[in-house]
Amino acid sequence: MPGAIEFFFDFSSPYGFVASTLIDQIAERHGREIEWRPFLIGAVYKEHGGVPLEHPLKRDYAIKDFLRTGRFNGLTDMQLPANFPASPVPPSRVFYWIEGQDKAKAAEFAKAAYRKYWIDGRDTADPLVAVGVAQGLGYAPEDVMAGAQDDAVKGRLRQETGDAMARGVFGSPYIIVDEEPFWGGDRLAHLDRWLETGGF
Amino acid sequence: MPGAIEFFFDFSSPYGFVASTLIDQIAERHGREIEWRPFLIGAVYKEHGGVPLEHPLKRDYAIKDFLRTGRFNGLTDMQLPANFPASPVPPSRVFYWIEGQDKAKAAEFAKAAYRKYWIDGRDTADPLVAVGVAQGLGYAPEDVMAGAQDDAVKGRLRQETGDAMARGVFGSPYIIVDEEPFWGGDRLAHLDRWLETGGF
């Protein structure tokens, strides 16, 4: 069986969101599973010394490009959330709590939490909002809240972030398949052809 | 008559090179002229404080991505030049000297100088190599050499770089059409649709 598509993303990442709406289709076309791997991009910036969107000019362009990229991909109602960039910690913890029980549900949660933030403009950095997304998938809020605060879940997120960095991940989204890395949502066409041709 | 596609690029830029092989086709499809605008990306980094490819991890990925992006676009013989990143000053000056006489020839020179660097691996930062590219287009080497050292040409390159920055250009390639900016070769599909639809 061919290896999974490892999909590393940060919940505050606009291009991660756009890619989350496209990756299923690519995986299905090539008979691959997806490993959804939320991590904390802030840890990368801390280690690498990089600061995203440091210059106002670049920030203005970036915000225009976020939404234009969404529209280009059919997400005509994508908007810049008021609290951008929001902490990705609460939804990431909820993700790993759900994943401990049901991987498919965790993937559904990832997509729904992204939409809640980038389409509905809700503050997913608010634990109650992240918990509400899980509730929409059938989980009892009190279970999710307790689960997301569990030390094992907190440790899991730290470990996944460290593992991602050890794999060389430095941006979001970052995709690895058969050890080939693809950084950025604008590399999905490359990924698609890579899977089609076995490498080029 | 619709406005031109302003194509800002630095001669050391790999994505600028790839875009230079694709932009004619897009312009022709939509009946637009192209304004070829070489500038010095180093001046942007100096003002913005950004340092490209600062982290080894990112540099390794970037070099892989340069060539994969080339292959993705049919440039199977694109290679990393030994002296990457080379100074873009000599070919930029030759460009503006030629442009003072013949805009179409200047565009041809831009494409040829890019190929000389990214396909043939020649050091276009060596004035003799840049002059040789112009010679291939029918110019006498001694005229090109003298022209590229003319104060007016040197001033023109400084002015074009300043103008580009004043327009908000912060990367290469950077395209502006009808005041809409597109940064990066991976936004050519967005540009194409923008021209097709009049904006989205």
**ipTM of predicted complex:** 0.92
pLDDT at res. B146? 97
pLDDT band at A57 (very low <50, low <70, confident <90, very high): confident
Q: What is the pLDDT at residue B168? A: 95
- The residue ranges of chain B whose pLDDT is under 70 are 50-54
User: pLDDT confidence of A172, banded at 50, 70, 90?
Assistant: very high
pLDDT of residue A8: 98
Candidate from A53-62, A81-90, B158-167 with smallest mean pLDDT: A53-62
Q: If we measure between CA atoms, which residue out of B20, B33, B39 comes closest to residue B164?
A: B39
B48: contact with A, CB 8 A cutoff:
yes
Min mean pLDDT across A54-63, A129-138, B150-159, B176-185 is at A54-63
Predicted pLDDT at A56: 82
Q: Above 70 in pLDDT, residue A53? A: no
Confidence band for A141, pLDDT divided at 50, 70 and 90: very high
Q: How far is CA A58 from CA A35, A54, B44, B182, B183, in A?
A: 32, 7, 11, 12, 10
Q: What string of DSSP letters covers A59-89?
A: HHHHHHHHHHHHHHTT-TT----TTPSPPSH
**The predicted structure's pLDDT at residue A2:** 87
Q: What gap in Å lies between CA B20 and CA A186, rounded to an integer? A: 19
Whether the pLDDT of residue A52 is over 70: the answer is: no
Global pTM value: 0.95
Q: Is A46 on the interface with B (CB under 8 A)?
A: no
Q: Is A58's pLDDT higher than 90?
A: no
- Tell which residue, A94, A129, A199, has the closest CA to residue B67: A199
What pLDDT shows up at residue B45? 87
In angstroms, what separates the C-alpha of A168 from chain B's closest C-alpha?
Answer: 7
Return the pLDDT at A136: 98
pLDDT at B52: 61
**pLDDT for residue A54 is more than 70:** no
Asked whether the CA dihedral A35, A40, A44, A45 is positive or negative, the reply is positive
Looking at the DSSP bridge assignments, the partners of residue A38 are A9
- Cβ–Cβ contact A184 with B under 8 A: yes
The per-residue pLDDT for A65 is 96
Check CB contact under 8 Å for B181 and A61. yes
pLDDT at A47 over 90: no
Helix (H) or strand (E) holding A191: helix A188-197
Cis bond before residue B173 (omega within 30° of 0): yes
Q: Which of B49, B57, B65 sits opposite A168 (nearest CB)?
A: B57
Q: How far is B68 from chain A (nearest CA, A)?
A: 7
Inter-chain residue contact B170 with A58, CB threshold 8 Å: yes
Q: State the Cα–Cα distance between residues B18 and A5, nearest whole angstrom.
A: 27
All residues of chain A having their beta carbon less than 8 Å from the beta carbon of residue B183 are 61, 65
